[in-house]
Structures are given as structure tokens and as C-alpha cells.
Amino acid sequence: MTASTATTLANVVASPPSGRPKAVVFDHHEYAASVILRGRPVPWDNATAYAAFFAQAQGLLRPDVALLDLNRLYGHLTSGNIRLETAMAGRPRTGFALRTLLGDDDLNRAVLDFVSVFAQTARQPVVLRIPSPMAWLRGTHHFSGADDTSDLDADNAENASMYVSDWLRAFAGLPVAGLLLDNRTPAGASGGVHVPLEAYTPIANLAGNYRWTLGQLDDDQARLQGDAAVGAYIPAGFWLEPDVELPPGDFYLGEIPSAALPEGVLARLETLG
């Protein structure tokens, strides 16, 4: 039995619940940590406290969805975990480290508990953001003993998508509106092989079964599977300077920088409608 949500990310893009002309998806983590927490640590170890912190930021900014970045959560939960790192380095086979990461029972239990609290308390449709299979493969490939990721190709990414889809089944019972695969090139990194969303058939099939809207964030734009709408990225400078204009797009995604001033952010929100 799976749980679905009547509202999907595609529905949100077509008819933004905020009433704005175009839907907005905010990653406000850095900004909210600066403005709300003021130097205190992000409460990753207390899902209820994190949900309250997140809800406060949502109330200030009024995005159309509640975006949860699971890569950040994983970064916190795996930091200093020598047991897990040793297991991930157990074999040099490509993809072994990622499969081990996503198959760790203790970690999966902690992640599911956290996401469950988040999804069940969010007031907006929940969208999960995870690394694309290729991005996750690149991020874990060094555990195989490789010096770089130049040997990774589309076939490796396709295989990795099977591990990711199996892992995603844990969220079947939660009210999730969409899943975004983050395929953007990290700052300072080389782009490598681009793998289109269509290559990730196991994930697409799972998302279709669960009625999640599936999308991919590439360097130039975001797009949703089976939808003509194109998402544009709000430049970081938009939040810092009043004369920075929005690029064309059918909906917007933006990361609000920690250096942005609250009064400036509120003023810029007005220009979004």
C-alpha cells in the first residue's frame, strides 16, 4: 500500500497555491539558519525541532512547496561515521559504495524517521531533493580507490538508479508531491558526462507508481518529466541587489544566500507576486 498526495509538484507549477503568477521553490536553508538560528546549530538530530525551524522560514517566505534536501541530512548523519565509511570502501567495484550507503539499516531508519516527521507536519506540498544517481555516484566513487570520476559513464548512472529506486521505496507511505534529482555541477568541479532524466527508468517508474512528480535540476534549467514547463533559477544576486532581473521561466527555483538582509528579501519577494 502506498500513500499519494492529491497535490503534485506538477499541479503546483500549473496553479501555484501561493497565488503568485509563477510557482516558486525556495532552498532557504542558509538564509534561515542565519536569520532564525543566529549561529545556533541546525537541529538535524531533532526532527520536531527542525520541522518547527523550517515552518518558521516557510511562514516568512511563503514558497509554494516545502523542499527538503536529503543530501544535507545525509551529510550530517554520515559525518565521522567510520563504520559506514569502512563498509563503503569494502570493494573497489563501481557503485558498491553508493549501494552500501543506501542499504545501511541504521542510517535508513534515521532518515525515514526524520522525513516522516517533516512530511507529516509540513503545511505545503512536500518535495524531496536528492542527488541524481550520477551525482551520488560521483560523490561516493572515491571510496572505490579511484582518483577521479572520469571513468564514470551513463551506464554506471543507470545502474546506480536501481539502487536509488530501491532506497526510495521506504518513502512510499508518505505524502510526497515531488522528487527532484539534483544534477547540477558543484562549484569548482568538472561537469563530466551529462545523464538525462530519461535514463533513470527505475526511478521514473517508481515515481509514476507513487504519483510523485519527477524532475531534474541541470546546470541551465529544471524540468519535470512529462511536462513542458521549464524551471529557471533565481540568481543569488536577485536577493542582494534591487536591479537584478529574473530570467524567463515557467516556474522559479532559488537558493536565498545567508548574506541577504531580511528587508531586502521581503522587498524582492514582492516582485515575485
pLDDT of residue 164: 98
Between CA 238 and CA 243, with CA 240 as vertex, the angle to 5 degrees is 55
Long-range contacts of 40-48 (CB under 8 A, 24+ apart): 42/76, 44/73, 44/76, 44/77, 44/114, 45/76, 47/113, 47/114, 47/116, 47/117, 47/118, 48/117, 48/121
Q: Which helix (H) or strand (E) holds 66?
A: strand 66-69
- Beta strand spans in 93-229 (E): 126-131, 176-182, 213-217, 222-224
Compute the half-sphere exposure of residue 256: CA atoms within 13 Å on the CB side of its CA. Answer: 26
- In angstroms, rounded to a whole number, what is the distance separating the alpha carbons of residues 200 and 205? 9
Sort residue 95 into left (φ over 0), alpha (ψ -120 to 50) or beta. Answer: left
pLDDT of residue 3: 43
- In angstroms, rounded to a whole number, what is the distance separating the alpha carbons of residues 7 and 68? 17
Cut 0.85: pTM above it? yes
Q: Which three cell numbers stand for residue 66?
A: 516545502
Q: How many CB atoms neighbour CB 258 within 10 A?
A: 13
Q: Which three cell numbers stand for residue 220?
A: 541551465
| Closest by CA position to 118, among listed 30, 50, 71, 72 | 50
pLDDT of residue 188: 77
pLDDT of residue 6: 64
- In angstroms, rounded to a whole number, what is the distance separating the alpha carbons of residues 173 and 96? 27
The set of residues, in sequence order, having a beta carbon less than 8 Å from that of 3 and lying 6+ positions away, is: 172, 173, 174, 175
How confident is the prediction along the chain (273 residues), in pLDDT tens digits per residue? 344 446 999 999 999 999 999 999 999 999 999 999 998 999 999 999 999 999 999 999 999 999 999 999 999 999 999 999 999 999 999 999 999 999 999 999 999 999 999 999 999 999 999 999 999 999 999 999 998 899 999 999 999 999 999 999 999 999 999 999 999 998 877 777 899 999 999 999 999 999 999 999 999 999 999 999 999 999 999 999 999 999 999 999 999 999 999 999 999 999 998
Q: Which helix (H) or strand (E) holds 255?
A: strand 251-255
Q: How far is CA 61 from CA 64, 72, 117, 152, in A?
A: 9, 20, 21, 39
Q: Which three cell numbers stand for residue 272?
A: 515575485
pLDDT of residue 1: 36
